[in-house]
Every structure is written in structure tokens, then in C-alpha cells.
Amino acid sequence: MFASFLLHLNWKELLMGQEEWSFILEIILRTAIMFLTIIIGLRILGKRGVKQLSIFELVVIIGLGSAAGDPMFNKDVGIISSIIVFVVIILLYSIITYFIGKYKGFEQLLEGKPICLIENGEFAIDNFKKENLGSDEFFTELRLKGVSQLGQVETAIEEISGEISVFFYEDKEVKYGLPIMPNSLENPLKMIKKDGHYACTFCGHTEIKTPGDSRQCPKCRKEEWVLSCNKKE
């Protein structure tokens, strides 16, 4: 039955839709032209437009990709109209980039501004709440930078590109902090069984505790703690 289905299948319509086989050569030509147009467009935009994409620049790249994609295989879309779209997008990019360089407030309105997420080895929780960034995702970013516990970090900043910049304490200044290795926060404590340095699992605040009730964190009012560590970078 399946073999019969394959025999009666309209392979031309499946593979080419409503187009003729001769359209393949036209697709090759269209794709080559738009490919060169993309290269020229990105060259005009400059290296920053490719290497570090802000929200604004991401919109530009998506717009260029959309304008380039349709005429590659869609017979109803002319190449000239797509090139006009390219020119308009690049002109708008150039105009907006000019105003971004001239007016700082306009840049912050369009692209946002860097946000401090860690300060003095603890989360800047008010800023952290504003960002759509999960703690696991953030910890992964920190580990990729070589961080194993927050006490190593003097400051961590989320740049407008989404990258995380990390500034470390020198080894002699590293202090106890919240461990961020996998599974390190799986068994938080509300009762302390032995003396030691403990870190709040929510904000990273660290203090010395003695056996007994863990009490609320003075910074965020949460009650779950884990043993902190002072491992150096």
C-alpha cells in the first residue's frame, strides 16, 4: 500500500510546488545576487553591527534577512524591490546610529543601559529582578567566566548586548560567597547544625552562623541558607 502511494505521488509538485524545473537556475541566480547584497549590506553596517548585536541591531539583521530570503525562491518577489528594502534599512540604521552617538539619552531609550547584577560578592537583587534572567542561566554564564562562588566577584554587569562582564577580586581579597556549582543549592538549610560561613540562597548575603535557627536574611528576608566557600578563582 505504501509502495502504491509512492508510485502515485506527484513528485514534481512535492519538490517544486507550482514552479517548473527551469526555475532552479533562476533560484541559483537570485540566491547569488541576494547573497552578495547581504555581504555588501553587512560591510556597510560595519563590524559592530555583526559582532555585538543590541536589540536595535538585531532588528536590523532580521529585517535584512527577511528582505533577502523571499526573492531567493519566490518568483513573485522582484530582486529590485528587495534591494530597495536593503537600502532603506541601511539608511535608517545610519540615521539612528548618528543620533545614538550624538544623544546619550536616545541611546539608552533605544538600546537600554548596562545593569549591575552582582556587587561586592552579592546579588544586586533590585536590579536582578528587572532583568528576564533565570538564576540557573546566570550561574551558567558565570561558570563560563571561571566563577565558582560569588565571593570571587567584585562586580558583574549585564551589558546592553546581553553579555556578562565579570570583575574579580584579587586572590587575597576573595571572601566567602554563595557557591554556584551544579547541585550546590539543592539542599538549603533552615536549621544550622554546625558553626561556619553560610550564604543566603536568594541574594548571596554571607554571614557566620552558629547552631540553631538560621533566621531571616537581613538583606532579602528569605530563610534558606547553604554553606558558603572562599575558593579562589
Q: How many CB atoms lie within 10 A of CB 95?
A: 10
- Answer yes or no: are the C-beta atoms of 142 and 219 closer than 8 Å: no
Buried/exposed code over 125-151 (b: 16+ C-beta within 10 A; e: otherwise): beebeeeebeeeebbebbeeeebbbbb
User: Nearest to residue 211, comparing CAs of 198, 229, 222?
Assistant: 198
* 107 CA to centre of own chain: 19
pLDDT score recorded for residue 50: 46
Per-residue pLDDT of the chain (233 residues; tens, 9 = 90+): 666 655 656 655 555 556 666 767 777 777 777 777 776 766 666 544 444 566 667 677 777 777 777 777 676 767 777 777 778 878 887 887 788 778 877 777 776 788 899 999 999 888 876 665 667 788 888 999 999 999 999 999 988 777 889 999 999 999 999 999 988 888 899 899 899 999 999 999 999 999 988 889 999 999 999 999 988 87
> Do residues 172 and 139 touch, judged by C-beta distance below 8 A?
no
pTM beyond 0.85: the answer is no
